[in-house]
Amino acid sequence: MPATRSVRNPRELKLADFLRLEQEVARLKAENKELASSNDWLDEELAMSRNTIVELMDIRGLLDGYRGLDDHSDLTAWRAKAVERVVNAADPKPALQMGDFGHGERALCPLCRGSASSPSVRGFAFPEGLRRHLLGSHTPHQCEVFAAADKSIIRRIRAKVVRMGGA
Ligand SMILES: [Zn+2]
């Protein structure tokens, strides 16, 4: 006759584990919901801050038309028009006047009043350097003001894609 040992019924153990897991899942679900709602709130805050940056800095309305766009082709069309408006609003001066010994002209960014990284040279090579500054191409530092409008369109495009279930 085999020795009987006092062990708990394995079924009871499993049920207890299951209940504990179920509680843990419920807790994680609640936590996740909380994080999602605080993430939504932060996302809204960021969107408002971007609008504020554009409102404060773009006094001439050069970036107008960016609100409400949620389509990639709209983004491309808006970018092209906005870049041309900003370039046309710039005040290019001979490079020498801007501290550069090169040829051609340079201009400050009409949106952020920024210059390329060199401390002694003012503005951006006009017009291509200014264009690159606005679009953030070939440079690690995109114009913060242009980017605020740009990113708010990108956010709406992403939100639309999520709503459509990743389609
Ligand atoms: Zn700028």
- Contact yes or no for 107/91 (Cβ under 8 A): yes
Query: Which residues are in the CB-under-5-Å shell of ion ligand 1?
Result: 109, 111-112, 114, 143
pLDDT at 13: 73
Q: How far apart are the CA of 127 and the centre of ligand 1, in A?
A: 13
Q: How far apart are the CA of 110 and the centre of ligand 1, in A?
A: 7
Q: How far apart are the CA of 137 and the centre of ligand 1, in A?
A: 13
pLDDT at 103: 87
pLDDT at 109: 96
Q: How far apart are the CA of 64 and the centre of ligand 1, in A?
A: 16
The identity of residue 2, as a single letter, is P
Residue 12: band (very low, low, confident or very high) from pLDDT cuts 50, 70, 90: confident
Closest CA to 145 of 93, 83, 101, 91: 83
Read off the pLDDT of residues 83-117 as tens digits, 9 standing for 90 and up: 999 999 999 999 999 999 888 999 999 999 988 87
All residues at 6 or more sequence positions from 74 whose CB lies less than 8 Å from its CB, including other chains: 153
Q: How far apart are the CA of 156 and the centre of ligand 1, in A?
A: 23
Read off the pLDDT of residues 21-72 as tens digits, 9 standing for 90 and up: 999 999 999 999 999 999 999 999 999 999 999 999 999 999 999 999 999 9
Q: Is the pLDDT of residue 145 over 60?
A: yes
pLDDT at 162: 87
For residue 126, list its beta bridge partners: 105
Residue 138: band (very low, low, confident or very high) from pLDDT cuts 50, 70, 90: confident
pLDDT at 166: 55
Sheet of strand 124-126: strand arrangement: 93-94, 105-107, 124-126
- Contact yes or no for 82/66 (Cβ under 8 A): yes
Residue 8: band (very low, low, confident or very high) from pLDDT cuts 50, 70, 90: low
Q: How far apart are the CA of 44 and the centre of ligand 1, in A?
A: 24
